[in-house]
Each structure stands twice: as C-alpha cells, then as structure tokens.
C-alpha cells in the first residue's frame, strides 16, 4: 500500500507542477461555474434575464393603479406580470407562486389595494398615502430593499402625474380647506401657516412635474418636492420560499456542471499521464520494481480519485462560501462525490488503454467524453432538456454524476433517490477498471 | 547471477530474439555488443521480466524467475530512454524510485545522497530534471537504477546522445562500480566501450548470440591477423622481406606484429613511417556477420 501511496503522491505532485493541468482541472471548471452562473442568474432567482420578476395584483383596477404597474414595469430592474397561462393572479395564487417556484420563479408580489386611486399624497393635511403590500422571502433582504426603492419611485411618478392635473390638485386643496374649517382644535399659528401653504399650492396647481420628464437641473423644484414626502406606505409580508428540490440560484446548477468539467479534465489528464509513463520510459522503471501491475494501476487510480475529490471539494467550498449554494443533503453529497469520483477514475483507466500514444489517448478520450458530457447535462442543465433528450441522457454517466451531485446540493435527495445514480456510477467505475485491466494484460506479462 | 536459456521473442514475423542463451557471472561486466535492432533491448526486457518470452527462461541468482519480486529487488535497470520524471527534481526522482523498493527513513536519505554524488548532481539535487543537460540526465538515469543497491545493474546503451565529457564521466562511474564488484550487463553498439569496460563481450546480431568471450579471445578466434604497413626509404631490400610491396609501402599480415617489426629492424630496414593495424571487435563482428558494426 505504501508504494501505491508513493505513486499517487508523485502523480499529484506532477499535476500540481503542470500549469495547464491545474488550469483544466481547477481553474477552468471554476470559470465555467462562475460564467454560466452569472449569465443565468436573474433577480427572480429562477433564471432567465436580469430583471426581478414581480407579480402585481391590482385590486383597484383604476387608471392610477394601472399607471403604477406600468411605471414599475418600465423599470429596468423589474419585470412585472399579472397573470400566468392566461389566468390573472389573485392574492392567494400570487403568494403561492412566490412561495413555490415553478418553471418560472417570482421574487415577490405587490398588492395594489382597492381605493388606491382615491388616496391622497401624505403631504396634504388629512392626506393618507396608500399602503402597498409586498410579499417576499425574508431571506432576500437585499432584493426586498431594492424593490422597495423601485416601488417608491414608481408610486411617486404616478402621484406626480396625478398632481399635474389642476382639477385634481384643486379638489385636494378644497378638501383640505374644508377639513381645516371644520377643525376646532387647530392653533392660530398652524391655521395661518396651512392656509398660506394651501393658497400657494393653489397658485401652483398644474405646475407639478414628473421627476425626470422636464427637470433639467439638479435643483429643479420637482426634485425638492419628490424628496420631501413619502408617496406610499409599504407593508411587507413574509413569504418563505419552499425551495425543496429546486435551485435557488443559477450557481446551484452551474457549480455541479463546473465540477463535471473538472472531472473530465482529471480523466483526460490522468489517462494521458499513464500513456506518457509508457512513452517516457518511466513505466518500465515502475514495472521492474518489485510490485504488480495492479499496484501501478492502483497508484494512478488513487491519484485520479484524490484529484476528483479535490476538484469537487474546492468547487463546493467556493460555491457555499461565496455564492450561497446550499448543501441540502451532506451525507448524500458525500456519497455522490465518492461514487462520481470512483466512476470517473474507472473511466480514466479505460480511456488510458484506448491508444498507445498520448495524442491517440487524448483524442479518444475527448471524442468519447464530450458527447457524453453534452447529452449528460454538462452544458444544458438536465431540467431544461426536452423529455426525449433527458431519456437519451441516461446512457451518459455524466447525467448520473450531475444527478448525484445536485442530489446533495439542491435536489434534497433522500437515500432512495441516491440509490440509482450511485449504483450506476459505481457500476461504470467497476466496468472501467475491469476493461482497463483486461486490455493491459493483453500487452504485458 | 543471471542465466538466460534459449530465449525467443518475435514481433509478428520478426524474430527479435532467436534462441539466445547466456550467463551473466557474479562480479563481471558482460557486454552485449550489436548494431541497432540486434535484439539487445528486447533481451533486457525479458531479463527483467517486463516482456514475456515466447520460449526459454530467465533465472536470477540460481532460483528466482525474472518476474519474482525477490529477483526484481536484485536488479537495477538503466533503460535506453531517459526514464525520469522531468517535472520532479533529481532528489525527488531518486526518493520516489527508492520508495518503490520499500526504502524509507535514514537509509533512503543516505542512499539518495550517495546516488546524487555518484551522478555528480549534489549541487543540482533540488533542480527539476527538465533543466538538466543530456549528460546530466544520463547520469541520473544510471543513479536511479542504483538507488536500491541492486546486485546486478543492467545498462542499456547508457551513452547514447551523450557529449564526450559526460561520456567519460559515465565510463569512470562504471569503472568505479566495477571495481566495487558490481555485476553488470552493458549493451552497446560502440565496440570501443565494450572493449574498454567489459570483461566478456557477447556478440549479437538479428536476435542471435554469435559468440561470447573476453575481448582478446574473441579477437584471437575471429579477428584475423594484424597488418604492418611500412613506408620504406630504400625499396631495393624489399625482395628479402616478407609481405608485399606496393609502390614504396610494404604490407605484412602477421599474427606476431611486434616480433616482425623487430626482425625488420635487425635487417636494417629504414622506413619513413610505420603502422600496425591490430584486429579489433569491429573485425570480429565483420568476420561473424559479414558486415560492419557501423553499417547500421
């Protein structure tokens, strides 16, 4: 066993000193995971574009509420929807859509209450800002804060649009003066100030501008007005998302794929290294030493196996620490990682016997592995595949590797769910070893 | 020490080794002399058990088959190709190969240091082999074969592609090993090396062993006569002398060149130049195969 360890350590040392080897085994998979994770990361958490998907439930169904929804949708950061498959969301269905992500997942829902159009801006005496209800996962604080800002901006734009109408403004002022007249507990100074203010407001009626429309200087009056009052109240409702069996971010999908490419790098690298031992003559030295062929194969396999573990462990660590990737089933993930590493080590052994030169083995390796990786979910995630392709993918060990890894990461597999992928992976590994030993026996003592 | 009996190995229609029988005796250096493609490397591979002979057998130290771990521990091999890990340092290569033979701890450290000194690489112990010259790699290639203190060292064309300075270093190193009584099998296609280093030389060609003996005996058996060539000052005395005269050069074929030169001197023959061509292994090879060792 000591000689097996010695050979494995030697191979790990050689790999570490080979910059290209390290790139393909560790750096490239990480780049792959980050690139595709970033590309497919959406604010809504379900992938597909960068805008946060928000459901608007319009209970008021007025021009004002529709304008608010439109303003919200006009924001680059938000994509608004109010129906799914032709069915308009109500509060219950919107809440459920946010709580349980489907093919499309939504970040939040916004309820515009009935009577929204009748509410008055809060700066008016007796005015009462409308209260919008926002349902969002408490865990997504950053997105919630951002959405609140977008909502305030959209509401303010809508309020300003309304205030541009002199009739609406005068109506508000009349209502306010009537309220002031009726009040008997207003002290004289306040009464005087409010009357002066409302008088000035009447003279300005119809001159309010929507922020951004005509203001061309930083100290334009509209800016001052816009910053001086809260146009709407926002009430947040906690909707804890049920992410069981669903990825909460594109990184939960891209990292297992990155791991797969890292493992392919291991297979390609180590299968070539075994042939390189032959062409460089070092294999002869290994063979004349007092050990069996099995020791040599075991040493190479152990190095490949340990490298596979290292690749997966490194990517998992990065994914968990920096990208919020979950480990829903630690024991399952450990089992999946073992089975996957075993499988790829067996594949490496088999591929190393497919040629007599480094070029032949390298070519044969990639020719065999690339199609398997592509159909097995190495590029397009399995759940994006059409049914027929998903069925075809079953012939690829890569599919089972991805399943085993995702099973521990976001699919929350139980032991029964792991059974099939793990069995397939272990079986492929054993088959690879057996074929490799058989083929090596044909050319040596 | 190593006995090979009726070894045969064919690759397709080509008989690489064809009924080779030989014995490497304890403490001797046996040369395996033959042109490229004579079957020398194939023979070595069968002797160390990495190639299965079609027929015949190899016995190491009286009782062990070549594939036995015990036999392998007794043999060190310096392959013809540089069998080293270029991205490991000299010391790392030595330590790794020593570990394959179960060495560890102080004995491993001492032996590694000895091998580095033997190869003249102590100063470069931590440098990667990729940065070494061809000669340094050759020396390390031999040192690695010695790291586990084998009883027999098989050297397969150890000076191929080596500059004269490194070649001399290798010769001196081998002579040192020889002086310490190490048994060696030395394959080469350079007759000068075989003549200088080997106690006995086995002539091989096309997979067959043609003869094996010490150099003098081989020359005596197959080398033919020596040739004296003397450019005479006075050709009138030529009629009284042995040999043939072409222009002013007297050519004498003889088994006793020194005695014949003395005889010429006694007869008062004067010459402007004198040369003696003694038969060598080249002549032996030519006599045995009908072609020159350098033809290939």
Which of A90-94, A192-196, A414-418, B204-208 is predicted with the least confidence, judged by mean pLDDT? A192-196
Q: Cα dihedral sign for A159, A160, A166, A171?
A: positive
Residue A333: its pLDDT value, please?
94
Contacts 24+ apart (CB under 8 A), A172-176: A172/A120, A172/A121, A172/A124, A172/A127, A173/A198, A173/A201, A173/A202, A173/A205, A175/A120, A175/A126, A176/A124, A176/A125, A176/A126, A176/A127
Rounded distance, CA B278 to CA B258, Å?
11
Could you tell me which residues are beta bridge partners of residue B274? B230
Residues of B in contact with A286 (CB under 8 A): 100
List, for residues A323-356, the tens digit of each pLDDT value.
989 899 999 999 999 999 999 999 999 998 888 8
**Residue A54 contacts residue A147 (beta carbons within 8 Å):** yes
B78 touching A (Cβ < 8 Å): no
- pLDDT surpasses 70 at A137: yes
Residue A227: its pLDDT value, please?
43
Residue A44: its pLDDT value, please?
42
Residue B94: its pLDDT value, please?
97
Q: To which residue do tokens 């080997």 refer? A: B198
**Residue B276 contacts residue B253 (beta carbons within 8 Å):** no
What is A342-408 written as a DSSP string?
A: HHHHHHHHHHTTS-SSHHHHHHHHHHHHHHHHHHTTSSS-GGGS-HHHHHHGGG-HHHHHHHHHHHH
Which of A369-383, B204-218, B228-242 is predicted with the least confidence, judged by mean pLDDT? B228-242
List, for residues A47-75, the tens digit of each pLDDT value.
345 678 899 999 998 888 898 899 899 88
Neighbouring CB atoms inside 10 A of A61's CB total 11
Q: Is A262 exposed, middle or buried (0-12, 13-18, 19+ CB in 10 A)?
A: buried
Neighbouring CB atoms inside 10 A of A116's CB total 22
**What tokens appear for A379 in the block?**
């590029």
Rounded distance, CA A273 to CA A15, Å?
9
Given an 8 Å threshold on Cβ–Cβ distance, is B79 in contact with A281?
yes
Could you tell me which residues are beta bridge partners of residue A342? none
Residue A45: its pLDDT value, please?
42
Residue B183: its pLDDT value, please?
94
Which helix (H) or strand (E) segment holds residue A124: the answer is none
Residue B268: its pLDDT value, please?
83
Chain A, nearest residue to B85 by Cα: A282
Rounded distance, CA A218 to CA A60, Å?
35
What is B137-198 written as a DSSP string?
A: HHHHHHHHHHTT--SEEEEESTTTT--HHHHHHHHHHHHHHHHTT-EEEEEES-HHHHHHH-
- Mean pLDDT on B79-93: 93
Residue A123: its pLDDT value, please?
55
**Residue B3 contacts residue B58 (beta carbons within 8 Å):** yes
Rounded distance, CA A311 to CA A321, Å?
15
Residues of A in contact with B83 (CB under 8 A): 280-282, 284-285
- 3 state DSSP class of B111: helix
Q: What share of chain A is helix, strand, coil (3-state, %, to 5)?
A: 65, 10, 30
Rounded distance, CA B278 to CA A233, Å?
115
Rounded distance, CA A149 to CA A144, Å?
9
Which helix (H) or strand (E) segment holds residue B273: the answer is strand B271-277
Distance to chain B for A23, nearest Cα, Å: 17
Residues of A in contact with B49 (CB under 8 A): 288, 445
Residues of A in contact with B70 (CB under 8 A): 290
Predicted complex: ipTM over 0.95: no
In order of A276, A300, B146, the CA distances from A283 in angstroms are 8, 11, 17
Residue A222: its pLDDT value, please?
41
Which helix (H) or strand (E) segment holds residue B78: the answer is strand B75-78
Tell me which residue of A51, A70, A288, A259 sits closest to A147, measured CA to CA.
A51
Residues of A in contact with B45 (CB under 8 A): 284
Q: Confidence band (pLDDT; 50, 70, 90) for A193?
A: confident
Residue A42: its pLDDT value, please?
52
A350: Cβ–Cβ under 8 A, 6 or more apart, which residues? Answer: A431, A432, A433, A435, A436, A439
Neighbouring CB atoms inside 10 A of A390's CB total 15
Pick from B46, B50, B76, B81 the residue to mutate for testing the A interface (most A CBs within 10 Å): B50
Residue A243: its pLDDT value, please?
73
Average model confidence (pLDDT) across chain B: 89
Q: To which residue do tokens 């057996």 refer? A: A434
Question: Nearest Cβ partner of B101 from A7, A13, A290?
Answer: A290
Q: Cα dihedral sign for B161, B162, B163, B168?
A: negative
Residue A205: its pLDDT value, please?
66
Distance to chain B for A434, nearest Cα, Å: 21
**Residue B260 contacts residue B278 (beta carbons within 8 Å):** no
- pLDDT surpasses 60 at A124: no
Rounded distance, CA B211 to CA A103, Å?
84
- Mean pLDDT on B206-214: 91
- pLDDT surpasses 70 at B240: yes
Given an 8 Å threshold on Cβ–Cβ distance, is B69 in contact with A291?
yes
Distance to chain A for B92, nearest Cα, Å: 9
Average model confidence (pLDDT) across chain A: 83
Q: Is B294 exposed, middle or buried (0-12, 13-18, 19+ CB in 10 A)?
A: exposed
Distance to chain B for A353, nearest Cα, Å: 18
Could you tell me which residues are beta bridge partners of residue B253? B227
Residues of B in contact with A10 (CB under 8 A): 85, 88, 96
Q: Confidence band (pLDDT; 50, 70, 90) for A103?
A: low
List, for residues A197-232, the tens digit of each pLDDT value.
878 777 776 565 544 444 444 444 444 344 445 678
Residue A230: its pLDDT value, please?
64
Phi, psi of A90, rounded to the nearest 5 degrees: -110, 180
- Mean pLDDT on A74-91: 87
Rounded distance, CA B101 to CA A340, Å?
33
Q: Confidence band (pLDDT; 50, 70, 90) for A27?
A: very high
Rounded distance, CA A53 to CA A98, Å?
10
Which of A3-17, A192-206, A352-366, B108-122 is predicted with the least confidence, judged by mean pLDDT? A192-206
Which of A71-75, A112-116, A137-141 is predicted with the least confidence, judged by mean pLDDT? A137-141
B97 touching A (Cβ < 8 Å): yes
Chain B, nearest residue to A7 by Cα: B96
Eight-state DSSP code of residue B290: S
Distance to chain A for B69, nearest Cα, Å: 4
- pLDDT surpasses 80 at A142: yes
Q: To which residue do tokens 């590694």 refer? A: B112
How many angstroms from the chain centroid is the CA of residue B278?
Answer: 20
Rounded distance, CA B103 to CA A246, Å?
54
**Residue A104 contacts residue A46 (beta carbons within 8 Å):** yes
- pTM for the whole structure: 0.71
- pLDDT surpasses 90 at A358: no
Could you tell me which residues are beta bridge partners of residue B229? B251, B275
Could you tell me which residues are beta bridge partners of residue B156? B187
Residue A444: its pLDDT value, please?
57
Could you tell me which residues are beta bridge partners of residue B20? B7
In order of A306, B86, B108, B139, B173, the CA distances from B119 in angstroms are 34, 16, 16, 5, 8
Rounded distance, CA B183 to CA A73, Å?
89
Q: Confidence band (pLDDT; 50, 70, 90) for A263?
A: very high
Residues of A in contact with B52 (CB under 8 A): 444-445
- Mean pLDDT on A82-97: 88
**What tokens appear for A104 in the block?**
């499309």
């Amino acid at each position: 066993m000591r000689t097996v360890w010695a050979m494995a350590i030697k191979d790990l040392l050689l790999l570490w000193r080979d910059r290209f080897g390290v790139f393909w085994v560790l750096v490239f998979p990480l780049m792959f995971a980050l690139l595709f994770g970033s590309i497919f990361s959406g604010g809504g958490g379900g992938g597909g574009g960068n805008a946060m998907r928000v459901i608007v439930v319009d209970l008021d169904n007025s021009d004002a509420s529709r304008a608010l929804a439109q303003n919200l949708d006009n924001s680059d950061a938000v994509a608004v929807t109010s129906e799914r498959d032709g069915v308009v969301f109500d509060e219950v269905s919107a809440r459920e859509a946010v709580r349980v992500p489907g093919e499309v997942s939504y970040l939040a829902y916004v309820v515009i209450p009935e009577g929204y159009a009748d509410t008055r801006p809060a700066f008016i005496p007796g005015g009462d800002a409308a209260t919008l209800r926002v349902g969002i996962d408490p865990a997504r604080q950053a997105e919630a804060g951002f959405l609140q800002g977008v909502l305030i901006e959209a509401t303010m734009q809508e309020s300003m649009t309304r205030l541009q109408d002199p009739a609406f403004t005068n109506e508000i002022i009349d209502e306010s003066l009537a309220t002031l007249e009726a009040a008997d507990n207003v002290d004289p100074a306040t009464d005087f100030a409010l009357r002066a203010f409302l008088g000035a407001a009447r003279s300005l009626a119809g001159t309010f501008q929507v922020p951004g429309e005509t203001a061309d200087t930083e100290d334009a009056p509209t800016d001052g007005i816009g910053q001086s009052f809260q146009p709407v109240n926002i009430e947040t409702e906690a909707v804890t998302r049920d992410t069981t069996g669903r990825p909460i971010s594109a990184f939960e999908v891209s990292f297992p794929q990155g791991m797969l490419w890292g493992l392919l790098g291991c297979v390609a690298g180590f299968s070539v290294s075994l042939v390189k031992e032959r062409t460089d003559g070092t294999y002869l030295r290994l063979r004349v030493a007092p050990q069996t062929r099995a020791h040599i194969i075991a040493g190479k396999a152990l190095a490949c196996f340990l490298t596979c573990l290292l690749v997966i462990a490194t990517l998992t660590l990065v994914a968990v620490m920096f990208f919020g990737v979950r480990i829903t089933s630690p024991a399952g993930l450990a089992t999946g990682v073992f089975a996957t590493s075993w499988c790829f080590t067996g594949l490496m052994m088999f591929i190393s016997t497919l040629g007599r030169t480094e070029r032949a083995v390298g070519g044969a390796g990639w020719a065999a592995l690339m199609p398997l990786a592509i159909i097995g979910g190495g590029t397009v995630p399995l759940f994006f595949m059409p049914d027929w392709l998903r069925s075809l993918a079953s012939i690829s060990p890569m599919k089972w590797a991805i399943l085993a890894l995702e099973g521990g990461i976001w699919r929350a597999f139980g032991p029964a769910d792991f059974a099939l992928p793990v069995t397939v992976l272990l079986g492929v590994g054993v088959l690879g070893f057996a074929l490799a030993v058989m083929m090596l026996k044909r050319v040596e003592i | 020490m190593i006995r090979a009996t009726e070894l045969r190995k064919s690759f397709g229609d080509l008989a690489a080794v064809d009924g080779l029988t030989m014995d490497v005796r304890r403490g001797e250096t046996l040369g395996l002399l033959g042109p490229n493609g004579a079957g020398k490397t194939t023979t070595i591979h069968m002797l160390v058990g990495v190639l299965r002979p079609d027929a015949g057998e190899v016995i190491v130290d009286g009782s062990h088959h070549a594939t036995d771990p015990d036999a392998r521990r007794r043999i060190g091999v310096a392959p013809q190709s540089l069998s080293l890990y270029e991205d490991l340092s000299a010391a790392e290569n030595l330590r790794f190969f020593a570990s394959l033979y179960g060495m560890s701890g102080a004995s491993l450290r001492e032996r590694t240091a000895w091998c580095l000194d033997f190869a003249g690489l102590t100063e470069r112990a931590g440098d990667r082999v990729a940065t070494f010259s061809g000669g340094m790699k050759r020396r390390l290639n031999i040192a690695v074969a010695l790291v586990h203190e084998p009883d027999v060292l098989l050297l397969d064309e150890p000076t191929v592609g080596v500059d004269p300075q490194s070649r001399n270093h290798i010769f001196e190193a081998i002579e040192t090993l020889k002086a310490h009584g190490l048994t060696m099998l030395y394959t080469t296609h350079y007759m000068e090396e075989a003549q200088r280093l080997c106690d006995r030389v086995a002539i091989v060609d096309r997979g067959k062993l043609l003869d094996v003996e010490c150099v003098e005996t081989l020359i005596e058996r197959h080398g033919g006569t020596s040739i004296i060539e003397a450019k005479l000052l006075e050709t009138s005395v030529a009629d009284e002398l042995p040999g043939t005269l072409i222009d002013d050069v007297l050519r004498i074929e003889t088994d006793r060149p020194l005695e014949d030169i003395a005889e010429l001197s006694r007869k008062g023959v004067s010459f402007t130049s004198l040369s003696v061509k003694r038969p060598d292994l080249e002549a032996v090879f030519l006599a045995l195969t009908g072609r020159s060792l350098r033809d290939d």
